[in-house]
Amino acid sequence: MSDYGFNTIAIHAGAAPDPTTGSRATPIYQTTSFVFDDVDHAASLFNLQAFGNIYTRITNPTTAVLEERVATLEGGVAGVGLASGHAAQLVVFHTLMQPGDHFVAARQLYGGSITQFGQSFKKFDWHVDWADATDMASMKAAIGPKTKAIFIESIANPGGLVTDIGAIADIAHEAGIPLIVDNTLASPYLCQPLKHGADIIVHSATKFLGGHGNSMGGVIVDGGKFDWSASDKYPTLSAPNDSYHGMKIHDTFGEIAFAIACRVLGLRDLGPAISPINSFMIITGIETLPLRMARHTENALAVAEFLKTHDAVSWVSYAGLADDPSHALMKKYTPNGAGAVFTFGVKGGYDAGIKLVNNVNLLSHLANVGDTRSLIIHPASTTHRQLSEEQQKAAGAGPDVVRLSVGLEDAADIIADLEQALSA
């Protein structure tokens, strides 16, 4: 499928008419487990000597279509579907890290990721060192002897910063570690980080991939190019694995080794499986991904241009604006547009931000992005409220910040709702 155009891949990759019924839509295989052909077949599946289905926690035919579709859109070699974007991050680091290990993460991240990395991961004795995604010296200086990866977002949530993926990939590879990119806000329609040197992609498929605010899911995409056996840093992949009779996963599976390890160790033992119905819903959403993303970005630019001239707005951070600091990087990494999510500063600070979200009518005040509907939130009082004010500002979520996820309504209607709310 990789030889086809993006629109064709979004509709067809991973899918075929059901061989039993002829169903053209991917069926929902709503089952927990699968019957083996015989004892030898069962043994070969459990020994990883054959590919097939055992239990929906690990593999499922509906989810397999989702995995292949996203991996193909991203230009990767394999995908793994999970229950959420946070589950995807957990399984990625479970595969890379040992107790006491570190990774470097950009400070410009979604607030939930900042909390997961900085708080919950401590319970695994995994530690994060924060760096500024706009400062390559900061990134390089944060790497130490126990650093196992660098983690960034292609378009940062909530600030809309477009990250210099290629420059950070060079820093990671010079240190012999992989670059992980959360590509949620861009989607593969706007950005394909593997083409710029990334090694692993994670998605909250809940957002733009599904696109309708109705299904939770996450996806890991393995780029297939990182050499996991070049050092002893990644024993989960390069050393004998006791649960598979001493098998060395990288030696056995080559370029798809990371995806295999995420599946047969991470999903098997941690269990954050996506449900088949959610896989089906996200597959269906992806079929219109290129159409939706084009409209999202068109609307977002119109809204950003309106806000930039409004008397009640002090600043707008949207890479699609010609004078935005990220505009040059946008042209390089997201040439089809700067996405649908961005922030702006409302004059009057924290109190004015709260009043604004209380005054909208068409826009929905909720903690999500990537919906067909336009969404608004005041991060300092919601998604980033667990952070200190200093941390909020570093993450692009200071007291005056309002985040928009611009939907697919008529742009004039979105602008009219913001106009009346700002005036009120």
Residue 94's CATH number: 3.40.640.10
- What b/e readout covers 212-239, taking b as 16+ CB neighbours within 10 angstroms? ebebbbbbbbbbbebebbeeebbebbbe
Phi and psi at residue 175, to the nearest 5°: -90, -5
Residue 1, domain member (yes or no): no
Per-residue pLDDT, 397: 81
- Shared domain for 270 and 319, answered yes or no, is no
Residue 301, domain member (yes or no): yes
Q: In what order do the strands lie in the sheet with 401-405?
A: 313-317, 341-346, 401-405, 375-377, 364-365
Task: Tell me how crowded residue 100 is: count the other CB atoms within 10 A of its CB.
Answer: 10
Phi and psi at residue 94, to the nearest 5°: -60, -35
- Shared domain for 36 and 17, answered yes or no, is yes
- Shared domain for 242 and 375, answered yes or no, is no
- Shared domain for 269 and 364, answered yes or no, is no
- Shared domain for 258 and 294, answered yes or no, is no
Predicted model pTM: 0.96
Per-residue pLDDT of the chain (424 residues; tens, 9 = 90+): 778 999 999 999 999 999 989 999 999 999 999 999 999 999 999 999 999 999 999 999 999 999 999 999 999 999 999 999 999 999 999 999 999 999 999 999 988 899 999 999 999 999 999 999 999 999 999 999 999 999 999 999 888 899 999 999 999 999 999 999 999 999 999 999 999 999 999 999 999 999 999 999 999 999 999 999 999 999 999 999 999 999 999 999 999 999 999 999 999 999 999 999 999 999 999 999 999 999 999 999 999 999 999 999 999 999 999 999 999 999 999 999 999 999 999 999 999 999 999 999 999 999 999 999 999 999 888 877 777 888 777 777 889 999 999 999 999 999 999 999 999 8
Tell which of 266, 285, 304 closes a domain.
Answer: 285
Tell which of 235, 251, 285 closes a domain.
Answer: 285
Which two structure tokens, joined as six digits, stand for 179? 């670059």
- Residues written for the chain: 424
- Shared domain for 148 and 71, answered yes or no, is yes
Count structural domains, the chain.
2
Tell which of 235, 260, 285 closes a domain.
Answer: 285
Residue 66, domain member (yes or no): yes
Tell me, what amino acid is at 67?
E
Identify the residue whose tokens are 């593997």. Answer: 194
Per-residue pLDDT, 424: 86
Residue 403's CATH number: 3.90.1150.10
Per-residue pLDDT, 159: 81
CA-CA distance, 387 to 163, in Å (whole number)? 22
CA-CA distance, 64 to 25, in Å (whole number)? 14
- Shared domain for 377 and 261, answered yes or no, is no
- Shared domain for 394 and 295, answered yes or no, is yes
Domain that holds residue 44: 6-285
- Shared domain for 326 and 216, answered yes or no, is no
Per-residue pLDDT, 2: 73
Contact 173, 227 (CB under 8 A): no
Which two structure tokens, joined as six digits, stand for 383? 């998604």
Contact 94, 126 (CB under 8 A): no
- Shared domain for 256 and 140, answered yes or no, is yes
